[in-house]
Chains A and B, each alone.
Chain A
């Protein structure tokens, strides 16, 4: 009964050195089965070298309606970017 199987989120490391990235989700009876299923569902074309799974119910997400309050304050802080500072062309390696 697939309805009894909890949902797992799947993260794949596409190659050595990179971080795991979220690729999707699937149902499985337990974590070990989730890894096996993730192998079959998400890496049929050698998409990865490592798999992480976690119960979807363990994820706490920000509320989309809060997006402005959370992220808008960073919008006018252009001085956090290197291009904000005018350095004469003659000065190298900065």
Chain B
């Protein structure tokens, strides 16, 4: 494991008396304030470590579960080109999950443990993936809106104070940039298509709009972790700031498509230079988070059966490696 390798020289792993903790914390915060990165071997407050483990593993789980709603359409993509693109996108999500799990592992948690938490239903993942993908237009809406919102969230994390997370995020954002464009391209094709296709695009926007803007998380007044995470520079903008930015850039895009965002209160406010928008139904968000979304059970079931059905492959690989080792030993 990564962390074990890093510990071998151990000089920085100072064992301290309780009195020194305040000094260590001051030094730690000083580094964060100076925009220096915290690396796996550096001293860090336990709460910082736990916050990052929670956030990075949730992020990783979201990438992995996020493969499911889109995977649903791979076999039914309308053309070979669309199918190749969708496969490439779902592959990327899987890869992003891997980058993130290994970033989390640098903090001392094991992959196995994170997988157990996901499969046991005790770990959270982005609530957006508990909605179904009913038509092909949903694949367009997901790329345009869901990936758009994810990019808005992730770009500031490229400057996060924890080095391995920030570096993983740079890689992810770079790869992610095609996801949103392919989604918009699908929406554009439908919006320029037959009346039925236009209706399909509008229906997808109707269903994905509110869940997408809920992706930024609870309002700042309700968000428990925001203040501390901003002090630690794990977060650079508040949930509401990012949500506003997203709405401001997305509303004109919807207009270009000739689609109607399903919010009667959405309007440009000349005085603030921002779009005003309607009340978010947070009871829906809370319900989906608690496991009562349309697909929560289906998603976890799919993950569990994938894990179970893959068990023999993992066991066979381990047995093969063991056999090779034994053979090499006998030969030596």
Contacts and interface: CB of A to CB of B under 8 A. Distances in A.
A81 B175 CA distance: 8
A86 B185 contact: yes
Nearest to B257: A91
Contact of A85 (B5, B175, B182, B253): B182
B277 interface: no
B139 to A, nearest CB: 14
B182 A77 contact: no
B178 A81 contact: yes
Contacts of B182: 79, 85
Contacts of B163: 16-17
Interface residues of A, number: 24
B306 interface: no
Contacts of A31: 8-9
Interface of A: 16-19, 31-32, 35, 50, 54, 77, 79-82, 84-88, 90-94
B85 A79 contact: yes
Interface in B126-179: 163, 166-167, 175, 177-178
A32 B36 contact: no
Contacts of A19: 167
A32 B256 contact: no
Q: How big is chain B's contact interface, by range?
A: 20 to 34
Contact of A94 (B5, B9, B166, B184): B184
B39 interface: yes
A94 B181 contact: yes
B181 A79 contact: no
A90 B92 CA distance: 28
Given A32-B9, A77-B88, A80-B88, A91 B184 contact: yes
A16 B181 contact: no
B19 interface: no
Given A31-B8, A79-B85, A85-B185, A17 B253 contact: no
Chain A at the B interface: mostly helix, strand, loop or mixed? loop
Of A19, A82, A94, the most chain B CB neighbours within 10 A belong to A94
25 contacts: A16-B37, A16-B163, A17-B167, A32-B9, A35-B9, A77-B84, A79-B84, A79-B85, A79-B182, A80-B92, A81-B178, A82-B178, A82-B181, A85-B178, A87-B181, A87-B185, A87-B188, A88-B188, A91-B184, A91-B253, A91-B256, A92-B252, A92-B253, A93-B253, A94-B253
Contacts of A84: 178
Nearest to A54: B5
A54 to B, nearest CB: 8
B249 interface: yes
Given A81-B178, A88-B188, 8 more contacts: A16-B37, A17-B37, A31-B8, A79-B178, A80-B88, A82-B181, A90-B256, A94-B184
Contacts of B9: 31-32, 35
A77 B256 CA distance: 29
A93 B249 contact: yes
Contacts of B184: 85, 87, 91, 94
Contacts of A50: 39
Contacts of A77: 84, 88
A79 B84 CA distance: 8
A81 B163 CA distance: 26
Contacts of A92: 249, 252-253
Contacts of A18: 167
Contacts of B81: 79
Contact of A80 (B36, B178, B180, B253): B178
Nearest to B161: A17
B298 to A, nearest CB: 29
